[in-house]
Amino acid sequence: MEFLEFRRVYKIYNNGIRALTNINLEVRDGEFVFLLGPTGAGKSTIMKLLIREEIPTSGDVWLEGFRVNRLEDEHLPYLRRNIGIVFQDLRLLPMRTVFENLVFPLEVMGLRRTLMNRLARDVLEVLSLEEKRNHLVEWLSGGEKQKLCVGRAVIHQPKLVLADEPTGNLDGRSAYEMVSGLFQLCREGGSTVIMATHNERIVKTFPGRRVYLDKGEIVRDNIEE
Ligand SMILES: Nc1ncnc2c1ncn2[C@@H]1O[C@H](COP(=O)(O)OP(=O)(O)O)[C@@H](O)[C@H]1O
Ligand SMILES: [Mg+2]
C-alpha cells in the first residue's frame, strides 16, 4: 500500500453536485504532487477528504495505512497533527511577530526552546525572511505573509503537507518564491506534498508530478507518461 491512496472515491454533496467521480490515486511517500484543473474541478474536495472535513459518498481514502473515512473521531487530532496545511485565508496572528507565528505549532507540541529556535532559523533562511524575524505580521507584504504561512505549515515536518491555491493573488515573482520555498522545505523535511492550483503557469518551472482534474475526474496524470 502506498503512503496515500484514493480508491474508487465518489463525492456527491447534499445538494446533488457530483464533485468527484471514481477517483483512483496513489501517492508515494515524499512525492510532490501538483493538483491542477479549473475552478470547480474537485481539487478542494480532495483536500477536504484527506483531513476528514468531508467524507466520501463511496470509496476509501487511505493515509499511511489508515482508512481516513473510517477513523474514530478521537483519532482525528492525531491525523491532523501529522498534516501541515497552508490555508488560503492565511490565518496568521496579525499583532504577533513573524517568529511567534512560525513557532506557534511547535509551542502547542511542547518543543524545547533551543530546538524551536533552530527549526525557525532554518525555515526563515529558506524563505528569505530572516530579517523580518521580529516584525509584526501586519507590517508584511502579501507575498511575505503567504511565505510565512508555508513556513508555519511545514516547520514541524509533517508527513503530509496540503496547500490549496496557496499562491492566491500573488504576482508571478512572489508566487514563484512561495512555491520554491514550499518545494525546498518539504524536500528537506521529507514531507509529501499536494498543492492544488488552477494556475498552471506558476508550476510550469517546477519538477514534480501533475495530476489534472476536470469535472471531478482525473483526466491526466504525468506519472504514467
Ligand atoms: N460544501 C459544498 N456543498 C455543495 N457543493 C459543493 C461544496 N463544496 C464544493 N461544492 C461543489 O463541488 C464541486 C467541486 O468543488 P471544489 O472541490 O471546491 O473544486 P475546486 O477546488 O477544484 O475549485 C463544485 O461544483 C462546487 O460548487
Ligand atoms: Mg478549490
Domain boundaries, the chain: 30-47+84-224
Q: What is the pLDDT of residues 81-102, one digit of tens each?
A: 899 999 877 889 999 999 999 9
Q: What is the pTM of this model?
A: 0.94
Q: Whose CA is nearest to atom 11 of ligand 1?
A: 19
Each residue of 177-208: pLDDT tens digit? 999 999 999 988 899 999 999 988 888 889 88
Q: How far is the CA of 134 from the centre of ligand 2 (A)?
A: 33
CATH architecture assignment, domain 30-47+84-224:
3-Layer(aba) Sandwich (3.40)
Among the bound ligands, name the one nearest to the CA of residue 213.
1
* Cα(29)–Cα(118) distance, integer angstroms: 25
Pocket residue to mutate for ligand 1, from 6, 10, 17, 217, most atoms within 8 A of Cβ: 17
Q: Exposed/middle/buried for 14, CB within 10 Å: 0-12, 13-18, 19+?
A: exposed
210 in Cβ contact with 203 (< 8 Å): yes
For ion ligand 2, residues whose CB falls within 5 Å: 43-44
Residue 213 CA: which ligand 1 atom is closest? 22
Taking only the tens place, the pLDDT of each residue in 123-153 is: 999 999 999 999 999 999 999 999 999 999 9
Which ligand gives the minimal distance to the CA of 21? 1
Residue 156 pairs in a beta bridge with none
CA distance 62 to 6: 6
Percent of the chain with pLDDT over 90: 81
